[in-house]
Structure 1
Amino acid sequence: MSEDLRDIARKRLKAKRDFWGLVSTFVVITIVLNVIWFLSGYRDYYWPAWPMLGFTIATFFNGINAFGPGSRPITDEAIDREIRKLNGEK
């Protein structure tokens, strides 16, 4: 059981580390896109908003995966509770 917990902990830590790496990449890409937009002189239309929107959506779902309720391990107590519900018990 100890090895299972180590694997779960390792996966959770990796997901959290990947999330913060994605946030760092998002910041760098956002800065680069805004510099390109600013230097292009075409300021009537803010086109960096579109790739930033896509990246924001991806980062949001990555954050839910890393920190959301699905990131917690399933406990034996939760399994027993679900079995009781399936058997019609409270």
Structure 2
Amino acid sequence: MAEPYTPKAPLSPEEIDRLARKRAGAKLGWFIHAAVFVIVNLVVFSLSQYGFGRRPWSLAPFLGWGLGLALHGVSVWLLGAGGSLRERMVDKERERLQRAQDRRNQP
């Protein structure tokens, strides 16, 4: 398992609050996505079984959307806001951009 991300410089209280809100928002978004997934797929399954024909056509949307929900979960819980891989990549890009800007500003 990856080491927890520790920023190079201490975060200010405002930065901690902003990051916490961003992470909580991403997680809440996934929970809403999961709830809508369950409700809609129950309706689609009911229509498949008791409405439009008796063939199990509801499996295709379930699997497709389920894959999307799983990828959304990976992006939120493993790679997303605050994930160590993402934060390290952001730090690396920030450093690269800062070096490029410093080179342009040199006489």
Work out the CA distance in 2 between the residues paired with 1:7 and 1:25.
27
Q: CA deviation at 1:69?
A: 3.5
Q: Of residues 61, 64, 69 in structure 2, which corresponds to 1:54? A: 64
- What SS class does the counterpart of residue 53 from structure 2 fall into? coil
* SS of residue paired to 2:24: helix
1:20 aligns with 2:31: yes
- Structure 2 residue ranges without an equivalent (≥5): 1-11, 96-107
Distance 1:61 1:41, change over 3 A: closer
Q: What does 1:7-86 align with in structure 2 at a 5 Å threshold?
A: 7-40=18-51, 42-43=53-54, 45-72=55-82, 74=87
CA distance in 2, matches of 1:22, 1:70: 15
In the TM superposition, residue 41 of structure 1 has moved relative to its aligned partner by 5.9
Which AA in structure 2 matches 1:10?
A: R
Q: Distance in 1 between matches of 2:49 and 2:32?
A: 26
Whole-angstrom CA distance in 2 between matches of 1:15 and 1:70: 8
Give 1:70 shift.
3.7
Return the letter of the residue paired with 1:53: L
Instruction: Tell me the TM-score normalized by structure 1.
Output: 0.71
The letter for the 1-side match of 2:53 is: Y
Whether contact under 8 Å (2:30, 2:72) holds in the other structure is: yes
SS of 1:6's partner is: helix
Tell me how many residue pairs correspond in the alignment: 77
RMSD across aligned positions (CA): 2.2
Unpaired stretches in structure 1, ≥5 consecutive residues: 84-90
Percent identical among aligned pairs is 22
Alpha-carbon offset, residue 62 of structure 1? 1.2
